């Protein structure tokens, strides 16, 4: 596929709609360094925006019609303002629905969408799409909403419009990322703190392994984990697991709920420590915390899978100083923190393990911390 660029999406818009777009907006995918399944528990997480982005070329209409062309599916959805489409077009149309509920007077719209964020890879292609559309529509109406409000509108679009019960990490990093930083998100009070993340300066690279095993957050497992966390919090008499201590988590009677609580409470603490280490540029010390995060997600939270476990173990054998699954789990991607210059060995090690099992070859990318959603 050709590279995704402002020029190519403008041309795509002309081909699909027959006239030129007003402008192009973009929002990034993400990897989460650490702090997994903590956002909907009022916890901490530490995502990084990718350079890979979703681009939308946009023009407003006044006849109530919505058209969305996707280069990935090579299809055009056509509907009316207020409708939420099925399939891939659910995301952009749910954002329009959500912004309309907030009072945005949208009279119709044409959109052309293209993306370099791999879809279904756990790299937040959905939030890249919802956030690029939300920012575009907002700015074309003279920005009645600030970015915090756009985050909330995009969360509502995914939760209520699409039926994917995600937390707020992905939307927040897409709209608040800063280049060369990770973003420490406190999901209890909504505050964010940019944490220096100059990989190259520290002599490391972050390799993303896309296992190409597909998962859907809208399936039952993600929602089940959320419900179990809530049940564990209720059993402990707290509003969210953020308020529980490690010792308290061990007092939950039900063994499954106890393990879920243990993951969340220990993961929040690991995230706090990684942020602390990065503040003093101690990259080499975060590897063990990444490894422990993976073990906790695999054993206590049970959201990993064989492909992710193999990718993580092979990356470590290939020279990564720490590795873990990233995102919701059940497939998707893993990250490996690798001394600069050792990337090829890590990639070789993971590729060989996948080939030996007869699995589809994984995809790799080297992550760089990029900026937030913007008009191009
Ligand atoms: C998915 C969700 F969208 C996020 O909100 C978060 O819960 C993540 O899974 C797990 O950390 O990406």
Q: Show the domains of the chain with their CATH numbers.
A: 6-30+49-178 (3.30.230.10), 194-366 (3.30.70.890)
Count CA within 13 A, CB hemisphere, residue 232.
32
- Answer yes or no: 254 catalytic: no
Q: CA dist 23 to 58, 59, 179, 266, 340, Å?
A: 6, 7, 23, 45, 38
pLDDT in tens, 102-144: 999 999 999 999 999 998 899 999 999 999 999 999 999 999 9
Ligand 1 contact via 44 beta carbon (within 6 Å): no
Locate the ligand 1 atom nearest the alpha carbon of residue 164 and give its number: 3
**How far is the centre of ligand 1, averaged over its atoms, from the C-alpha of 357 (Å)?**
29
What confidence category does residue 3 fall into, taking pLDDT thresholds of 50, 70 and 90?
confident
pLDDT in tens, 225-276: 999 999 999 999 999 999 999 999 999 999 999 999 999 999 999 999 999 9
- Residue 120: per-residue pLDDT: 85
pLDDT in tens, 305-340: 999 999 999 999 999 999 999 999 999 999 999 999
Locate the ligand 1 atom nearest the alpha carbon of residue 122 and give its number: 12
What confidence category does residue 217 fall into, taking pLDDT thresholds of 50, 70 and 90?
low
Q: Looking at ligand 1, which residue's alpha carbon is closest to its atom 5?
A: 167
**How far is the centre of ligand 1, averaged over its atoms, from the C-alpha of 169 (Å)?**
6
pLDDT in tens, 190-206: 999 999 999 999 999 99
pLDDT in tens, 139-185: 999 999 999 999 999 999 999 999 989 999 999 999 999 999 999 99
CB 133 within 8 A of CB 92: yes
Judged on CB neighbours under 10 Å (0-12, 13-18, 19+), 238 is middle
The Cα–Cα gap between 261 and 269 comes to 13
Does residue 300 carry a pLDDT above 70? Answer: yes
Ligand 1 contact via 267 beta carbon (within 6 Å): no
Provide the pairing of β-strand 65-70 with 75-80. Answer: antiparallel
Ligand 1 contact via 37 beta carbon (within 6 Å): yes
CB 176 within 8 A of CB 372: yes
Average pLDDT along the chain: 96
**How far is the centre of ligand 1, averaged over its atoms, from the C-alpha of 249 (Å)?**
22
The Cα–Cα gap between 367 and 147 comes to 24
**How far is the centre of ligand 1, averaged over its atoms, from the C-alpha of 123 (Å)?**
10
Question: Pick the catalytic residue: 110, 170, 210, 300?
Answer: 170
Structure tokens at 122: 């756990």
Ligand 1 contact via 327 beta carbon (within 6 Å): yes
- Residue 219: per-residue pLDDT: 74
Please state, as a whole number, how many other Cβ atoms lie within 10 Å of the Cβ of residue 62: 9
The Cα–Cα gap between 200 and 369 comes to 10
Ligand 1 pocket test target in 37, 297, 303 with most atoms within 8 Å of CB: 37
Q: Look at 218 and 161; give whichever has higher pLDDT.
A: 161
Beta-bridge partner residues of 334: 209, 325
| Percent of the chain whose predicted confidence (pLDDT) is above 90 | 96
Ligand 1 contact via 166 beta carbon (within 6 Å): yes
pLDDT in tens, 11-43: 999 999 999 999 999 999 999 999 999 999 999
């Amino acid at each position: 596929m050709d590279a995704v660029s402002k020029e190519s999406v403008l041309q795509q818009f002309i081909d699909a709609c027959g006239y030129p777009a007003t402008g192009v907006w973009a929002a990034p995918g993400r990897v989460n360094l650490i702090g997994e399944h903590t956002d909907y528990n009022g916890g901490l997480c530490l995502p990084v925006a990718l350079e890979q982005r979703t681009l939308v070329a946009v023009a407003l209409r006044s006849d109530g019609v919505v058209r969305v062309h996707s280069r990935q599916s090579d299809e055009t959805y056509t509907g009316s303002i207020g409708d939420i489409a099925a399939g891939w077009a659910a995301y952009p149309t749910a954002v329009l629905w959500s912004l309309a509920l907030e009072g945005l007077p949208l009279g119709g719209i044409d959109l052309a969408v293209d993306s370099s964020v791999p879809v279904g890879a756990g790299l937040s292609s959905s939030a890249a799409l919802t956030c690029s559309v939300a920012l575009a529509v907002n700015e074309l109406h003279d920005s009645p909403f600030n970015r915090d409000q756009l985050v909330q509108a995009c969360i509502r679009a995914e939760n209520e419009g699409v039926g994917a019960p995600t937390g707020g990490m992905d939307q927040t990093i897409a709209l608040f990322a800063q280049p060369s930083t990770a973003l420490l998100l406190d999901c209890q009070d909504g505050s964010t703190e940019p944490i220096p993340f100059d990989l190259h300066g520290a002599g490391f690279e972050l390799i993303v392994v896309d296992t190409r095993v597909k998962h859907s957050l809208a399936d039952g497992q993600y929602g089940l984990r959320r419900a179990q966390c809530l049940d564990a919090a209720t059993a402990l008499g707290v509003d969210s697991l953020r308020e529980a201590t490690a010792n308290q988590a061990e007092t939950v009677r039900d063994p499954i709920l106890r393990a879920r609580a243990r993951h969340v409470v220990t993961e929040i603490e690991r995230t706090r420590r990684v942020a602390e280490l990065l503040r003093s540029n101690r990259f080499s010390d975060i590897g063990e915390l990444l490894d422990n995060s993976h073990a906790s997600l695999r054993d206590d939270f049970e959201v990993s899978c064989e492909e992710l476990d193999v990718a993580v173990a092979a990356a470590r054998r290939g020279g990564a100083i720490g590795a873990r699954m990233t995102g919701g789990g059940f497939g998707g991607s893993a990250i490996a923190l690798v001394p600069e210059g050792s990337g090829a060995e890590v990639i070789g090690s993971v590729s060989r393990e996948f080939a030996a099992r007869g699995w589809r070859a994984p995809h790799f990318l080297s992550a760089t911390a990029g900026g937030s959603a913007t008009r191009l």
